[in-house]
């Protein structure tokens, strides 16, 4: 049995909808926790974590894309959060565990879009 089995990992409330433990660990710069959750989760749980999309209203406050559509400054997926917050080791770790480099936000923005718009220089 995996350590994370049955762990409630995703928010389902309007404010933080879609955020999961990877988003939070990345935001707190806790690579040790990201690694733990990825290594200790079942394949299905890992897939769900990596595909998680932060779409809650908290993440949308104050940010709009060039079309005036509200969007999260960090993108929606954990991989994008790690990239935009300048955590290359976590980007590598997430990719090693199957994160999709071609993930897009609901607005069609890629990781590259988010890095150009909000990335740390």
The DSSP letter of residue 56 is: S
Q: What pLDDT is attached to residue 16?
A: 63
Task: Report the alpha-carbon distance of residue 97 to residue 93 in Å, rounded.
Answer: 6
Q: Which domains does the chain have, with CATH numbers?
A: 21-118 (1.25.40.20)
CA 72 to chain centre: 11
Whether this prediction's pTM lies above 0.85 is answered by: no
| pLDDT tier for residue 45 given thresholds of 50, 70 and 90 | very high
Where helices occur in 1-121 by DSSP H, the ranges are 21-27, 31-40, 43-51, 57-60, 78-84, 88-96, 111-118
- Judged on CB neighbours under 10 Å (0-12, 13-18, 19+), 12 is exposed
| pLDDT tier for residue 19 given thresholds of 50, 70 and 90 | confident
Of 12-21, 26-35, 65-74, 99-108, least confident by mean pLDDT is 65-74
Task: Report the alpha-carbon distance of residue 113 to residue 78 in Å, rounded.
Answer: 15
């Amino acid at each position: 049995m995996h350590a994370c089995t049955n762990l409630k990992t995703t928010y389902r409330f309007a404010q933080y909808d879609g955020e999961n433990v990877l988003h939070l660990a990345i935001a707190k710069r806790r690579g040790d926790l990201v690694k733990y959750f990825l290594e200790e989760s079942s394949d299905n749980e890992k897939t769900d974590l990596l595909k998680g999309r932060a779409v809650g209203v908290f993440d949308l406050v104050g940010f709009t894309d060039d079309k005036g559509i509200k969007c999260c400054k960090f993108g929606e997926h954990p991989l994008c959060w790690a990239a935009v917050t300048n955590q290359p080791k976590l980007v590598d770790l997430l990719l090693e565990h199957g994160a999709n480099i071609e993930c897009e936000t609901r607005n069609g923005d890629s990781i590259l879009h988010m890095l150009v718009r909000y990335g740390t220089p």
